[in-house]
């Protein structure tokens, strides 16, 4: 049995108002459900479908919810069209003036991390660890990987058979270049790997209390542009990846700087611990042995850059013309060795005979 229970005076306007109130309550309940569902999924990877573009911001359908891809989180060179799908990284779930909203990103370094975790089973299983990620979205990324098992090659695991694994990641990032380097606990080795494909001659570290500091990297002339990269991109990504401030110097520039420090007084000593790797500059100049110094011989360092030889005949000829009975000085050539302390060991090793400095009396009498 049916009976109409519409109250008296309940007209069309009242019915529309009730409908609007019910719809608003339903939308609020849906938004609360979205917040509770995605609040614990921050930092995860989702596939989103482009729905529309509003004032430069891309609205995407992520599961049952809508997510916003702001303009600042969009990768350079990507054009978002209706119906296209992209992997996005959830960076925030927050309450906006229109209600709860999900903020996603295509530029966050976490996107690269999650893509490699998805494509490389060794990373998801914990066999290979992705230590650090540095990224300039749309251009180039660097990742550092390590394996606890010495029998496992972490770089090869990320590259995959015939490069299939890294190729999928690169395709998803819009053909963004990805460099995979081997992580190492020694900062010198780690920085050398991070600057690949450049060949490094030497690394000098000035460590601070925080555990990082400044790294001076010495390279040959033909490797300088490769180490710096296009518009400084390679060294900038290496600095982000390692956490060290990196200064690139050529062998010639470094030798000139050390020579200036050697002859200048009051050069400040760097604060912190100084540590360096062995390099070709150690052989650039070499201090002669004690035997040559005792004989007063003039020796030239075995320089890798073909240093010119110094003739000794002119030195002893000038001493003979002055009428000196003893050698004027024991002279020894040396070179700048970056591994020694500037304040103590870079002073030229020149010893002068005090008796030789006295004026030799002239004998004008006849024998």
Could you report the per-residue pLDDT of 80-132, keeping only the tens digit for each? 999 999 999 999 887 666 666 789 999 999 999 999 999 999 999 999 999 99
Give the pLDDT confidence score for residue 16 in this predicted structure: 85
Type and span of the H or E element at 36: helix 12-38
pLDDT digit string (tens) for 128-180?
999 999 999 989 999 999 998 889 999 999 999 999 999 999 999 999 999 99
More confident residue, 181 or 261: 181
Instruction: Band the pLDDT of 300: cuts 50, 70, 90.
Output: very low
Q: What is the DSSP string of 69-133?
A: E-GGGSPTT----TT-EEEEEEEEEEEETTEEEEEEESS-HHHHHHHHHHH-HHHHTTSEEEEEE
Domains of the chain: 28-105 (2.40.50.140), 108-183 (3.30.300.20), 192-279 (3.30.300.20), 281-355 (no CATH)
pTM of the model: 0.66
Give the pLDDT confidence score for residue 279 in this predicted structure: 58
Measured CA to CA, the distance from residue 330 to residue 349 in angstroms comes to 9
DSSP state of 75: P
More confident residue, 207 or 365: 207
363: pLDDT strictly greater than 50: no
Of 166-180, 227-241, 348-362, which range is least confident? 348-362
Measured CA to CA, the distance from residue 160 to residue 168 in angstroms comes to 10
Per DSSP, the three-state class of 126 is coil
**Mean pLDDT of the 347-356 span:** 40
**Mean pLDDT of the 20-49 span:** 83
Of these ranges, 233-247, 300-314, 348-362, the one predicted with the greatest mean pLDDT is: 233-247
Per DSSP, the three-state class of 30 is helix
Give the pLDDT confidence score for residue 270 in this predicted structure: 56
Give the pLDDT confidence score for residue 353 in this predicted structure: 43
Instruction: List, in order, residues 6 or more apart from 359 with CB less than 8 Å away.
Output: none
**Mean pLDDT of the 241-267 span:** 86
Cβ count near 140 (within 10 Å): 18
Instruction: List, in order, residues 6 or more apart from 45 with CB less than 8 Å away.
Output: 87, 88, 89, 90, 111, 114, 115, 118
327: pLDDT strictly greater than 60: no
Give the pLDDT confidence score for residue 30 in this predicted structure: 77
Give the pLDDT confidence score for residue 271 in this predicted structure: 53
Instruction: Give percent of the chain above pLDDT 70.
Output: 69
Instruction: Band the pLDDT of 19: cuts 50, 70, 90.
Output: confident
More confident residue, 303 or 172: 172
More confident residue, 359 or 275: 275
**Mean pLDDT of the 256-266 span:** 80
């Amino acid at each position: 049995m049916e009976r109409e229970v519409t109250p008296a005076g309940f007209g069309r306007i009242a019915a529309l108002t009730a409908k609007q109130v019910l719809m608003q309550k339903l939308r609020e309940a849906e938004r609360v459900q979205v917040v509770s569902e995605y609040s614990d999924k921050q930092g995860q990877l989702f596939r989103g479908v482009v729905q529309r573009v509003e004032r430069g911001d891309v609205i995407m359908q992520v599961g049952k919810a809508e997510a916003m891809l702001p303009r600042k989180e969009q990768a350079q060179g990507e054009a978002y069209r209706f119906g296209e799908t992209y992997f996005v990284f959830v960076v925030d779930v927050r309450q906006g003036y229109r209600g709860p909203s999900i903020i996603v990103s295509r530029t966050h370094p976490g996107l690269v991390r999650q893509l490699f975790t998805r494509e490389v089973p060794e990373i998801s299983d914990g066999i290979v660890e992705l230590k650090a990620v540095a990224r300039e979205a749309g251009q180039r990324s660097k990742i550092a990987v390590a394996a606890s098992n010495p029998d496992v090659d972490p770089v090869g695991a990320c590259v995959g058979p015939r490069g299939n694994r890294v190729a999928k990641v690169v395709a998803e990032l819009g053909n963004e270049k990805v460099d995979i380097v081997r992580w190492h606990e020694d900062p010198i080795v780690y920085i050398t790997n991070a600057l690949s494909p450049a060949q490094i001659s030497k690394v000098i570290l000035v460590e601070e209390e925080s555990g990082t500091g400044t790294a001076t990297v010495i390279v040959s002339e033909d490797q300088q542009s490769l180490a710096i990269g296009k518009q400084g991109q390679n060294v900038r990504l290496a600095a982000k990846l390692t956490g060290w401030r990196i200064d690139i110097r050529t062998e010639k520039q470094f030798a000139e700087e050390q020579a200036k420090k050697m002859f200048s007084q009051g050069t400040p000593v760097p604060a912190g611990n100084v540590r360096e790797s062995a390099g070709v500059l150690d052989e650039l100049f070499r201090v002669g042995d004690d035997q040559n110094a005792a004989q007063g011989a003039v020796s030239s360092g075995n320089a890798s850059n073909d240093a010119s030889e110094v003739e000794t005949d002119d030195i002893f000829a000038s001493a003979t013309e002055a009428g000196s009975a003893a050698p004027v000085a024991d002279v020894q050539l040396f070179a700048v060795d970056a591994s020694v302390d500037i304040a103590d060991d870079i002073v030229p090793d020149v010893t002068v005979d005090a008796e030789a400095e006295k004026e030799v009396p002239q004998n004008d009498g006849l024998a």
